[in-house]
């Protein structure tokens, strides 16, 4: 079964390709399409246990963003010109630090991206351009839904939850770069958003709860508990099932999302 190894930057890809080819391992480079060239690194498609290959690369000092199963994309690759080379003036170095299975939908991917430069001054403009979602001026942070995806933008970090596949990641990355560029172009023409808004509902919080409806928190269901987090009636520490879980990822994700939508240590 084909697997794909994803790298944070092009240097890491080239080092990884050199190591695997030097070991005589059959590999196939997977280059991003024209519309994303220079934004994201190439990947490597291998047959076999990608996790073993990734561990071997990391032991040789090669940085890895993640590994995932790979199959032919189920839609056409969009045709578009390369991104404006001036994008680096806005965001600096662009790194895809992590690609892994989404906590809230294991059939999709969660992507963590870091920016070399802060875009804090542009996020209030983006909040004007994007209708709906949650906006926290104090951070600033903008979180919004795009179909089934959840996208969170902070000054030097972008997180995309529930991306479909690698092609979807490429499209989202290019779209976000265009959003950042558009915000810069409107900087002197659009009044920045200053008012907070709470546009992410209880369902996103519910997806990060155990879902066992144990009632130990005093609520009839996990959805009722999630609604309480939105209104301030409940707090994370009241969910004993969440506290008892051996894997703390749900709790971390829930705290992260509450912070991104302005509810802090709820």
pLDDT digits (tens, 9 = 90+) for 186-214: 999 999 999 999 899 899 999 999 889 99
pTM: 0.92
Tokens of 150: 């959840």
User: Mean pLDDT of all residues in the chain?
Assistant: 92
Give the integer Cα–Cα distance in Å for 201 and 79.
35
Q: How far is residue 126's CA from residue 190's CA, in Å, rounded to a whole number?
A: 10
Strands of the chain (E only): list them: 2-6, 28-30, 43-47, 66-69, 94-101, 109-115, 134-136, 141-146, 149-154, 157-163
pLDDT range class, residue 239, cuts 50, 70, 90: very high
Taking residues 56-79, report their average pLDDT.
90
Please compute the mean of the pLDDT values over residues 94-123 and round it to a whole number. Answer: 96
Q: What number is the average pLDDT over the span 97-101? A: 96
* Nearest CA among 195, 205, 196 for reference residue 253: 205
| Highest mean pLDDT out of 112-116, 208-212, 217-221, 231-235 | 112-116
Per-residue pLDDT band for 265 (boundaries 50, 70, 90) equals: low
Angle separating helix axes 10-22 and 50-59, nearest 10 degrees: 100
Residue 266 confidence (pLDDT): 47
Task: State mean pLDDT over 212-227.
Answer: 93
Residue pair 80/35 in contact (Cβ under 8 Å)? The answer is yes
With beta carbons less than 8 A apart as the criterion, state whether 182 and 130 touch: no
pLDDT for 131 equals: 85
Q: Which residue has the tokens 């520490």?
A: 237
């Amino acid at each position: 079964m084909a697997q794909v190894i994803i790298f944070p930057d092009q240097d890491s890809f080239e080092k990884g390709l050199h190591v695997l080819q030097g070991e005589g391992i059959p590999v196939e480079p997977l280059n991003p399409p024209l519309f994303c060239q220079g934004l994201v690194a190439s990947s490597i498609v291998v047959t076999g246990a990608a996790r073993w290959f990734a561990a071997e690369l990391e032991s040789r000092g090669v940085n890895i963003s993640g590994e995932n199963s790979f199959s032919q994309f189920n839609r056409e690759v969009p045709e578009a010109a390369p991104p404006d080379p001036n994008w680096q003036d806005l965001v600096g170095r662009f790194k895809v630090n992590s690609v892994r299975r989404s906590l809230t939908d294991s059939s999709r991917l969660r992507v963590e991206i870091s920016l070399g430069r802060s875009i804090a001054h542009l996020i209030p403009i983006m909040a004007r351009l994007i209708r709906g979602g949650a906006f926290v001026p104090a951070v600033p942070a903008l979180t919004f839904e795009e179909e089934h995806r959840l996208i969170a933008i902070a000054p030097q970090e972008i997180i995309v939850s529930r991306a479909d596949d690698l092609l979807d990641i490429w499209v989202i990355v290019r779209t976000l770069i265009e959003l950042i560029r558009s915000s810069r172009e409107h900087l002197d023409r659009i009044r920045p958003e200053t008012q907070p808004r709470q546009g992410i509902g209880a369902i996103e919080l519910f997806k990060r709860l155990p879902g066992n409806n144990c009632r130990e928190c005093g609520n009839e269901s996990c959805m009722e508990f999630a609604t309480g987090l939105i209104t301030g009636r409940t707090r994370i520490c009241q969910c004993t099932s969440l506290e008892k879980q051996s894997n703390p990822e749900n709790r971390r994700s829930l705290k992260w999302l509450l912070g991104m939508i302005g509810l802090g240590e709820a």
